[in-house]
Structure 1
Amino acid sequence: MQTELSAKAHEVLQKYWGYAKFRPLQEEIILSVLEGNDTLALLPTGGGKSICFQVPAMCLEGICIVISPLIALMKDQVENLRKKGISAFAIFTGMSRREIDIILDHCVYGKVKFLYISPERLQTDIFRERLKKMQVGLLAIDEAHCISQWGYDFRPPYLQIAEIREYIPDVPCIALTATATDVVKGDIQEKLSFKPNRKVFQKSFARANLSYSCFYQENKLQKLLQILQNVQGSAVVYANSRKKVQEIAQMLAQHKISADFYHAGLKNEERNRKQELWIKNKIRVIVATNAFGMGIDKPDVRVVVHWELPSSLEAYYQEAGRAGRDEKKAYAVALYDKNDIDNLEIQVLKSYPPPATIRKVYQMLANYYQLAVGSGAMSSFDFDFNDFIKNFNLDANEAHFSLKILCDENIIHLSEAYFSPSKLLFLLNNNDLYAFQIANKNAEPIIQLLLRMYGGELLTHFCKISEQAIAQKAGTSVENVIRALENLEKMRVVIYEKQKDKPQLTFVVPRQNAENLQLDWQKINQRKERDLRKAKAVAHYVQHESRCRTQLLLEYFGEISYEPCGICDICLKKKKEKRLSEHYYEIYREKILKALEFQSLTIEELILAIQPRTREALVEALQKIIEVGEVEMTENHKLKRVV
């Protein structure tokens, strides 16, 4: 039976992907799925995860539903499947109900083989009703670590997947991720309701061709230039903010290095253009936020540099792992300074406001909508975040993270529109914009106000804006602001992406007394402690000066290696020290034996006689000479040559 399944899998691989054989572990994973087992597959970044569900899906009858949190990855995989002549669709944020309806009809009545869908869509009635009518052959969950509260990228909608399995009880499930600790692996299987016939496959996290290095660096630009000079070829530089990636790209360009920046604030066409130029090696260095890289198949990246530290080793391993997918020598470099180390913990603490702050924000929400205790269950309201925080003089960060915790605890629900406000981008450069204002005096006040509120970044990429906040500053109505922005768009001065729907805030449970707010404080504190541990693990990793970097990473993921990699900065430093030690041993052995040829000397007298470059090198050489019996220590603490 297994031989037949293997032959079928190889036939599909050859026919659609043009490969004669699978990569290590791929075939074992595919056969497990084809045998009907719930399967967890852990393969490092670039290890060929998509093949592990796409090939068995092509062998099985029916559609494969792929759940993924990454729109860019969904679009990319759908496009690649279609190029192979395979029918594939994706449903994601921003599509109209009519578009979704047509795609789901195709999945029920057409010959669709793959449907990619975000986890948020699983909860909709339209999807669940159509799912009952679909012939489903396989359920695939990508980025499966997102289902675990102990993972580094927990997303509550992933918890709905187990409910979906009730509609398709006999369909096998494959969960895939590049990184997971032992706790997360167990949690994934539990939350996905894996059946007893489950199987887990894990390829070693070690990358034999990838050299890891960490450098404490006050002048990061100088070090980055040195790295790019020493390592030729395609490169990625990661930074944490949109502003920073733009600054770094400009600095590299000033030093005659072909570079561009990438982040989620750019319009789609611009992102795709930059990505394509980099993939085709027309741009050497792409400087990006972590929005870049997921699902991009570029095997010849020679170096990935982290200008700032990510929040976890899971994230670092994934991002660094985009180097050297062609299995040729590549480098992953982390640059850091004292501020980076301090900020790791500061950012975690910001994400978990104290209970008093969360209670206060909840109370302000109740006041904002004038809800009495015990009322409001499943009531939904329009929600303008900027108006809310201004009304109660709340700190934006504290309010945002408090709302997030209230959402995670299922006390309230915020619609997708809350996370996708209106966006604006100026199409004109500085000079042309100045000329336009002179020629169009009526438009000058709104343009000046926009630049004061959101800065020059409006000239380079999309910025999130609040029509409510602009109206308050201008002393006018929201309708007038919208009309002014639409006029600027008609005159081709801006691109105005108006928020499709007003953000909705829903009170999931009846309004509670804020002082007795029913939150699972123990679990919240556990998540906070987890994130602090992850931050400390990053700090420990980059600051370590004695152990192999690969061994440190493997240990974090529960994999023990007794062999150092031999190519990280620590291993190379030890090799250099060993060579130096051997070099000095040969030099000082001869000098020591000559100095002791006719006399006995104390160590201090020997040092004075030889005058070595370093005391440590001479003492080390002396210890080896004593060990082999060429010199001995007398009772009066003098060194004597053994004849």
Structure 2
Amino acid sequence: MNVLTTLQQYWGYSGFRPMQEEIIQSVLAGRDVFAMLPTGAGKSLCYQVPAMNIEGITIVVSPLIALIEDQVQALNKRNIPAVSIHSGLDRLLLAQLMDEVADGRYKLVYVAPERLQSETFRELMIQLPVQFIAVDEAHCISQWGHDFRPAYRNIAEFRELFPRVPVLAITASATAAVQEDICKQLKLHQPQTFTQSVIRPNLSYHIDYTENKPVALTEALVTAGGSSIVYCKTRKRTVECMQMVKDRTGLPAYHYHAGMRKMEKDFAYHQWLEKTDAVMTATTAFGMGIDKPDVRLVLHYDLPTSIEQYYQEVGRAGRDGEAARGQLFYHTTDINYLLDLPEIQFPPISQVKAVYQHLSDYLGIHLHTGNEQVFAFDITEFVTRFKLDMVTTVSSIKILEREGFMEWNENAQTQYTIRFTTDRDTINYLEKNYKTLYPVVETLLRHYGSIYNFETAVPIFKVAKALNIDKTILEDRLWQLQDLGVLEYKPAIVGSYMLWLHNRIPFPYLNLNEPAIRKMKAALSRQVQEMADFIQNEETCRNRLLSVYFGQEDVADCGQCDNCQKHRSEEVHTNASINNTLLEVLKREAPLPLSDLLQQLRHIHREQVIQALRTLVADGKVRHEGGIISF
């Protein structure tokens, strides 16, 4: 089957987007490939299509479990056999899935990079016909990237188990230095490189200083003319902004962050997806895998930490090719916080080691034990018990994660599993003497035949519905059956969990890669400074700034961004005309808050209005006190 036939049969598309087919053909020819395609350019097809044209198994390494599950679900709906292997699976279920992979039931096996550290996983995979490895979000492997994740460094070692298998490294954003580092770290062999321009002609960038973000947010959303995404830095802020949007605009608004249950996130996402004017206020958890082509506005209420992050997030607007807008609001305090981030995210090594010790004690992990065990983890209870600072603790855990000690999932929903441990005589006895418990046993055995031989994942809500009882009642009866020795029941861990990736190390032998951590801190310092410079540049076309930053050829001014509009405004508005316009507004409406004045004169660049106001105040023609303008 040729690749176009595959595309038409499984995805229903009549043709490829730019560079997709060339990338796919290079992979099928056995070449290592590096590809950088903008958000919305169809990166996933670059490895999904060849996977369906290659005999054997394709391994896809992807950074987020939620994204992995979404892609697997979408592929399964297209009758493409795919499976995800992640930390939420118990050992027996993992073994079952791997047996199914070995039997040829799946073409694509999605894994998080941490899974590649597991000796068990490696031993299982080396027995299988792995023919292609795809590395999604490949910038995560580079310490110079905006989302460095050391677990990605395991890919090169894992790849050595399959030396003749082609590797595709693909990302939406990487500077020239990051591209070179990706190829080096993955040990790509003479890779063929495909790089699309970062310029999106239909997307304009606008960065505005404001002293009143709520007012600016409201105005931007009301005039957006379609669906919007508002990015916030904290979970609390997403809720606040959602309520603000509802109260001030009447637009349908939803919020999304990693702390929500999957059911809540799915509801918010699908409501937003189905409407043409809905607003999603979200943290960066709402990002990869978002597929809504008609987003007209992506607005940053808080600052991204790097130009790469900003570019990726803004890129979720206008995927249908129609005009779209990226808007960012900032204040001086935002810039100061951004520049302080390196000190916040990289606390002293001594504090990181102390957090490791406290974690081990909190989770009840004894020396030389704990490898690949999963534990429920409540961060609030943890910092309270050990009298720790929340921000320092979270930063320390993130460092320990990057160093490969553990994997922290802040909102997990693992499988409920059950295995019968009794004989038929006992079940017959239950039927006669335990009238409330026996229906549970009968239903489980009727619907899940494997449950008598090994641990089996069971959809608890579905079983409760079949029995016409509440889930809590079902769980209580399962605990009773376990107490009677009839079965083993393992409930899901709902909420935060931690996967411990090694045996606990004695404190004197706990070593962190301090040189690497210092480099990461220095890399973050550069990233935030570059982001601050990008925000505060009020002269150069935003497209030109982005093109130069990503190491591509200089381009012509876009004529659409805030800086290009400023230059046009300067040609139209002389100082005298701005002064006169400002005085006319004040004569009509003074006293007037500065934010309202700037809003009324938004067709003139903000700095020009401020300069005109300063001149008028100096000349004694107007007064400016406490943010209020008057005569």
User: TM-score, length-normalised on structure 1?
Assistant: 0.71
| Residue 301 to residue 254, structure 1, CA distance change in 2 (3 Å) | same
Equivalent in the alignment of 2:192: 199
Q: 1:250: how far off?
A: 1.0
Is 1:277 the counterpart of 2:271? The answer is yes
Alignment partner of 1:26 out of 20, 24, 37: 20
Offset at residue 15 of structure 1 (A): 2.3
- Which residue number corresponds to residue 459 of structure 1? none
Match of 1:456 in 2: none
In structure 2, the CA distance between the partners of 1:140 and 1:240, relative to structure 1 (3 Å rule), is: same
Q: What is aligned with 1:77?
A: 71
Deviations 1:142-175 (A, max 9, x none): 1111111221111222111122212222110101
Counterpart CA distance in 1 for 2:24 and 2:499 is: 42
Partner of 2:508: 512
Q: 1:158-211 CA distances to partner (integer Å, 9 max, x unpaired)?
A: 11112221222211010110011122112211221211x311111011111001
Amino acid at match of 1:564: D
1:538 equivalent to 2:534? Answer: no
1:268 to 262, 265, 269: 262
Contact 2:213 2:301 in 1 (8 A): yes
Equivalent of residue 203 in structure 2, options 201, 210, 219: 210
Shift of 1:103: 2.1
Distance 1:72 1:217 in 2: 35
Which among 84, 100, 118 is matched to residue 124 of structure 1? 118
Q: CA deviation at 1:46?
A: 0.5
1:108 aligns with 2:102: yes
Aligned residues: 507
Aligned: 1:66 with 2:60: yes
1:151 aligns with 2:124: no
Query: Match for 2:192: what amino acid?
Result: K
Q: Distance in 1 between matches of 2:268 and 2:494?
A: 24
Cα distance between partner residues in 2 of 1:166 and 1:505:
22
Instruction: Describe the SS at the equivalent of 1:322.
Output: coil
Change (3 A) 1:87 1:408: closer
Written as runs of structure 1 = structure 2, the 5 A alignment for 1:300-311 is 300-311=294-305
Residue 332 of structure 1: CA displacement? 0.3
Distance 1:359 1:56, change over 3 A: closer
Residue identity in the other structure for 2:535: V
Q: Relative to structure 2, which stretch is displaced further, 143-152 or 522-531? A: 522-531
CA distance in 1, matches of 2:360, 2:98: 39
Instruction: Give how far 1:110 is off.
Output: 2.6
Q: Partner letter of residue 340 of structure 1?
A: D
Unpaired runs of 5+ residues, structure 1, are 1-6, 424-485, 585-612, 618-643
Q: Higher mean Cα deviation, 176-185 or 320-329?
A: 176-185
Letter in 2 for 1:34: L
Aligned partner of 1:528 in structure 2 is: 521
Q: Residue 563 of structure 1 is aligned with which of 553, 556, 565?
A: 556
- Counterpart of 1:540, as a letter, is D
* Bigger Rg, structure 1 or 2: 1
For 1:414, which of 392, 406, 412 is the aligned residue?
406
Cα distance, 1:23 vs structure 2: 1.2
Structure-to-structure mapping, 1:216-295, within 5 angstroms: 216-255=209-248, 256-281=250-275, 284-295=278-289
The offset of 1:367, in angstroms, is 9.8
Aligned residue for 1:201, secondary structure, equals strand
Q: CA deviation at 1:562?
A: 3.4
Query: In structure 2, do the counterparts of structure 1 residues 564 and 393 end up closer, same or farther at CA, with 3 Å as the change threshold?
Result: same
Distance 1:205 1:124, change over 3 A: same
- 1:72–1:295 Cα contact (<8 Å) kept: no
Conserved? CA contact 2:261–2:411, under 8 Å: no
Question: Contact 1:212–1:332 at 8 Å: present in 2 too?
Answer: yes
- State the alpha-carbon separation in 2 of the partners of residues 363 and 67 from structure 1: 31
SS of the aligned residue for 1:332 comes to strand
- 1:263-303 deviation per Cα after TM superposition (whole angstroms, max 9, x unaligned): 22222122112211211116611111111131121111001
Q: Structure 1 502/172 Cα, relative in aligned 2: closer, same or farther at 3 Å?
A: closer
- 1:24 is displaced (CA, Å) by 1.3
Please give the secondary structure, in 1, of the residue aligned with 2:304: coil
Change (3 A) 1:250 1:560: same
CA gap of 1:243–1:518, structure 2 versus 1, over 3 A, is closer
Structure 2: gaps spanning 5 or more residues: 415-471, 477-490, 578-607, 613-631
- In the TM superposition, residue 580 of structure 1 has moved relative to its aligned partner by 4.3
CA pair 576-99 structure 1, distance change in 2 beyond 3 A: same
Tell me, yes or no, if structure 1 residue 142 matches structure 2 residue 136.
yes
- Residue 132 of structure 2: SS of its match in structure 1? strand
How far apart, CA to CA, are the structure 1 residues paired with 2:59 and 2:573? 58
**Superposition deviation, residue 123 in structure 1:** 2.3
Equivalent residue runs for 1:319-358 within 5 Å:
319-355=313-349, 357-358=351-352
1:53·1:140 contact (CA, 8 Å) conserved in 2?
yes
Contact 2:144/2:178 (<8 A) preserved: yes
Aligned counterpart, 2:309: 315
Indicate the larger mover: 94-103 or 175-184: 94-103
- Specify whether residues 154 and 19 from structure 1 end up closer, same or farther in structure 2 by C-alpha distance, changes over 3 A only: same
Please provide the CA RMSD for this pair: 3.6
Is the deviation greater in 168-177 or in 258-267? 258-267
Whole-Å separation in 2 of the counterparts to 1:51 and 1:306:
29
- Give the whole-Å Cα distance in 1 for the aligned partners of 2:253 and 2:379: 36
Aligned with 1:395 (options 381, 389, 392): 389
Deviation at 1:422, TM superposition (A): 10
Q: Which range is displaced more, 216-225 or 93-102?
A: 93-102
Aligned position for 2:163: 169
> Kindly tell me: are residues 523 and 505 of structure 1, through their superposed partners in 2, closer, same or farther at Cα, counting changes over 3 Å?
closer
TM-superposed CA distance for 1:497, in Å, is 5.5
Alpha-carbon contact 2:360-2:504 (below 8 Å) kept: no
Q: CA offsets, 1:519-542, max 9 Å, x none?
A: 443332221111011111111111
Q: Distance in 2 between matches of 1:421 and 1:297?
A: 23
* TM-score (norm. length: structure 2): 0.73
2:479 maps to none
- Distance verdict in 2 for CA 1:110–1:552, change over 3 Å: same
Distance in 1 between residues matched to 2:90 and 2:356, nearest whole Å: 32
Question: 1:572 matched to which residue of 2?
Answer: 565
Cα displacement (A) at 1:101:
2.2
1:447 maps to: none
Residue 35 of structure 1 corresponds to: 29
- Paired letter, 1:298: K
The amino acid of 1:294's aligned partner reads M
